Amino acid sequence: MAKLVSQDAQDRTKKAQLIAQHRELMNSWNNAQDVFTRLCRRLHSSLELDQCLAVFLEELRSIMAFNSFCYQHDQDHDSYVYTEGYGGQHNCQYNLALQGQSLGYLTINRRTRFAEEELAVLEQMIGILVFPLRNCWQHRQAWDAALTDSLTHLGNKRALLDALERSSTLSSRHGEPHALLLCDLDHFKQINDCHGHVFGDRVLCEIAHVIRCAIRSSDVAYRYGGEEFAVLLPHTNADDAMIVAERIRVAVEQHAIRHGELVVNVTTSSGVAEYHQQYASTANEFIAQADAALYQAKRDGRNKTCKAIFSQPALALSPVTN
């Protein structure tokens, strides 16, 4: 019995010593100021790509002079570029990859040649960078997947709500207008019933492409749900938004979708609303205003665009017919 007690006490003492050693190592790690340890420590503090690359640049600049830095990566529908500085006829470029996964290209330029010793240090730092960089990309992909409609690759309803909140905040702060367009495919249920849901999905994808092509570069399209799409138009009043809405309506009406020997045409009804803080304190209230205009277009016979007009004390609707 005394032996067991003695062994237990020895085990506890040994574990306490190990914990003390690890605490000492942890303190040493946290206080170390060499560039490699500092870089490794800082890179694990964020999953944002911009922040990760900014940390890498800051630590690289502390030990090496360079004129410009560029990181770029194209993955699926996501094209990302991070640049700083310009110039420099000498460059070193690295194709970054980890466990068979491409992580893009990193290029550093400067006016003088890189010494072998500098390249060795740079490559060691890049070796520290790749694991956190891979984690940032995985985080970005997961976040994008949560905000992207898997069928059309447009932003989904959640992405729209987030964008509306940001736009409303900026509009209230700077007094800039922005508008929302909701458009719904007319009689879409008949397409599914007559031609099947696979063809219905194809119609949604093609219409999403038509909408992308019809809007301006500053506008953003979303799949709001089912056969309903949304377009957020920054720095745009209701009248200008109506022009975009009509362009979408005409483009959809003229787009022919082939199904075997058949040619299927679809039309869309649209509602437009301009943001006014006194009438829409939340994103859902703003959407409801555009939605009311949309359903007025449906009641007016479909294949039409209707604009919400705000006046005290009620909301009026202004139709535009084809």
pLDDT given for residue 300 in this prediction: 93
With b meaning 16 or more CB within 10 Å and e meaning fewer, what string describes 22-59?
eeeeeeeeeeeeebeeebbebbeebbebeebbebbbeb
CA distances from 253 to 153, 191, 302 (A): 22, 15, 12
pLDDT given for residue 3 in this prediction: 59
Residue carrying the six token digits 């040493």: 28
Phi, then psi, of 161 in degrees rounded to 5:
-60, -40
Picking from 280, 300, 298, the residue whose alpha carbon sits closest to that of residue 288 is 280
The share of the chain scoring above pLDDT 90, in percent, equals 70
Helix 116-146, helix 49-61: angle, nearest 10: 170
| Tens of pLDDT, residues 159-183 | 999 999 998 888 777 778 899 999 9
Enumerate domains of the chain plus CATH numbers: 32-146 (3.30.450.40), 157-320 (3.30.70.270)
Q: Do 265 and 248 contact (CB within 8 A), yes or no? A: no
| Tens of pLDDT, residues 281-297 | 788 889 999 999 999 99
Q: Which residue has the higher pLDDT, 78 or 107?
A: 107
pLDDT given for residue 10 in this prediction: 75
Average the pLDDT over 234-251 and give the result.
95
Active site residues: 227
| Tens of pLDDT, residues 16-64 | 778 877 887 777 767 778 899 999 999 999 999 999 999 999 999 999 9
- What is the DSSP code (8-state) at residue 271? E
- The Cα–Cα gap between 309 and 322 comes to 19
Strand (E) or helix (H) holding 258: strand 256-259
pTM (whole model) above 0.85: no
